[in-house]
Structure 1
Amino acid sequence: MSEKNHDAKRTARQRLAVEREKQKASERRRRTLIVAAGVVCVLGLATVIGVVAANAGKSGGGSGPVAAPSGALGKDGLAIPVGADGAKSTLTVWEDFRCPACKAFEAAYRPTLHELTAAGRLKTEYHLVRLIDGNLGGTGSLRAANAAACAQDAGKFPAYHDVLYDNQPEETDDSFADNGKLIKLAGKVNGLDTPAFQKCVKDGVHDSWVEKSNKAFQAGHYSGTPTVLLDGKNIIEDRSMTPAKLKQTVEAANKR
């Protein structure tokens, strides 16, 4: 590996670590605010329930039947699979399209994941969540996840997934909440921008599915996004993990 490539990968790993620390700090601040506001929440519970009932559906949350995207796997059909079924290694990714740390992970690992997937050595199962919507407000995480699920229906999930990260707005910019923007980005994927895709996006066909996936993420007590498990082992928490080591681990598993 050239020194230039080594430096680039090291920089990407450092950026991922920085973004994860920012996310953890944001979560700690949010928890502090929740604790500080606890008495007010209890006293105002009846009012809050009334407001939530009055605004049901206006926030973009899914309240209809759960419609899993085509080909979804796993418990409750919450995983979008990419790669050969016969691959001996499985990468499980919990991600949020508004999450800058997820984009940093993409920058560092995407070429390796594409290479291993194309070779039939790795299958990736994507779980889409809306962590940033909860932390910062808005619906961009939900809308983008629904659009990605619509792309899965069209057989275009991998390409659209990459387009969303390549065009990710700033974390505080909720521009993914605009269905028009998501449909425009679909134009970057050959054959995706169809009337069926547009209707799926605008109707929020998979909103309830995204909400169910988000609840599963919360129930798993994961520390944040991205959470990336290689055959069940959290590689984000492994400080020694690099794209090269990931490739070596997967190839060793395929030789066994």
Structure 2
Amino acid sequence: MSEKNREGKRTARERMAIEREKQKAAERRRRTLIVGASVVCVLGLAAVIGVIAANAGKDDDGDSAGPVVAPSGAQGEDSLAIPVGEEDAPSTLVVWEDFRCPACKSFEDAYRSTIHELTDAGQLRVEYRLATIIDGNMGGTGSQNAANAAACAQDAGKFVEYHDVLYTNQPAETDDAFAENSKLFELAAKVDGLDTPAFRTCVEEGTHNGWVAKSNEAFRSGGFTGTPTVLLDGKNIYQDQSMTPQKLKEQVQEAAKG
């Protein structure tokens, strides 16, 4: 066989070997892609399962705080207001508040006696609406737990008394003491007839947590800038730097004259 023929056969064999290596490489890539796609599918399925699990138990509003159970006597849209005072009082004061909020305590300390005087006289009706912004800002659950406990006190007909006790004994803003049921029970003992098994169960089970969450959502969607937000017949009096308890009293009494 001539040298030329031998060289031709060798070249052909080399080309065939190279082609076989290319085919093997292509097969390896194909298998890699299949495996990779399978992994992606598995991860995608796991992600879907994770989302489903994360949302399990949430109500239709996407809130995992539990069912919305309004306290006894709550009124207004979605029953989010706890009313105090006569239904037909000439003036209405809406108070958005957070039991962990220091500014809310300052407002309560300054205006409490005046508000009680006006509600007792049938001249003012107050709608208390609860928010949990300090929990969101500082962390913890004290705002929520105290609001739930106040709603439990409303069930027992002791809202005003417990409301005032919570503010009188408000811890420092950074101290999440209201997150502890033991603290809420300790303060309930200061209100005659409140510290009962029914109240304790309501607090321990977070019966009104869903309602509190819904109220806080209403606060956030209401365009308010912070707590307290205090509206007298729709006018924000907390932003009025000239407002005083005496001025509030005069305005309410003037409205009562008709």
Could you list the runs of 4 or more consecutive aligned residues of structure 1 that deviate by over 6 angstroms after TM superposition? 48-52
Aligned match of 1:239: 241
Alpha-carbon distance in structure 1 between the residues aligned to 2:186 and 2:88 = 35
Which letter does structure 2 place at the counterpart of 1:136? M
State yes or no: 1:97 paired with 2:99: yes
Aligned match of 2:125: 123
Alpha-carbon distance in structure 2 between the residues aligned to 1:64 and 1:136 = 22
Q: Using a 3 Å threshold, how does the CA distance of structure 1 residues 199 and 250 change in structure 2: closer, same or farther?
A: same
Aligned match of 1:148: 150
Q: Per-residue CA shift, 1:184-210, capped at 9, x if unaligned?
A: 110000000000000000000000000
Residue aligned with 2:219, SS: helix
Aligned match of 1:7: none
Which letter does structure 2 place at the counterpart of 1:115? E
Aligned match of 1:168: 170
Structure 1 unaligned residues grouped into runs of 5+: 1-45
Q: Using a 3 Å threshold, how does the CA distance of structure 1 residues 139 and 50 change in structure 2: closer, same or farther?
A: farther
Residue aligned with 1:237, SS: coil
Residue aligned with 1:214, SS: helix
- State how 1:49-198 maps to structure 2 within 5 Å: 63-198=65-200
Alpha-carbon distance in structure 2 between the residues aligned to 1:72 and 1:133 = 23
Residue aligned with 2:128, SS: strand
State the percentage of identical aligned residues: 66
Cα deviation, residue 50, structure 1: 9.3
Alpha-carbon distance in structure 2 between the residues aligned to 1:183 and 1:249 = 38
Aligned match of 1:229: 231
Cα deviation, residue 63, structure 1: 2.9
Q: Using a 3 Å threshold, how does the CA distance of structure 1 residues 168 and 114 change in structure 2: closer, same or farther?
A: same
TM-score, structure 1 normalization: 0.77
Alpha-carbon distance in structure 2 between the residues aligned to 1:49 and 1:102 = 38
Equivalent residues of 1:163, 1:185 under 8 A apart: yes
Structure 2 unaligned residues grouped into runs of 5+: 1-47
Cα deviation, residue 221, structure 1: 1.1
User: How big is the alpha-carbon RMSD for the aligned residues of Structure 1 and Structure 2?
Assistant: 2.2
Which letter does structure 2 place at the counterpart of 1:192? L
Q: Using a 3 Å threshold, how does the CA distance of structure 1 residues 176 and 110 change in structure 2: closer, same or farther?
A: same
Residue aligned with 1:111, SS: helix
Residue aligned with 2:126, SS: strand
Residue aligned with 1:112, SS: helix
Residue aligned with 1:228, SS: strand
TM-score, structure 2 normalization: 0.76
Which letter does structure 2 place at the counterpart of 1:242? T
Alpha-carbon distance in structure 2 between the residues aligned to 1:102 and 1:90 = 18
Structure of greater Rg: 2
Aligned match of 2:207: 205
Residue aligned with 2:203, SS: helix
Which letter does structure 2 place at the counterpart of 1:145? A
Cα deviation, residue 240, structure 1: 1.2
Aligned match of 2:3: none
Alpha-carbon distance in structure 1 between the residues aligned to 2:179 and 2:66 = 19
For these two proteins, the number of residue pairs brought into alignment is 208
Residue aligned with 1:229, SS: strand
Aligned match of 2:31: none
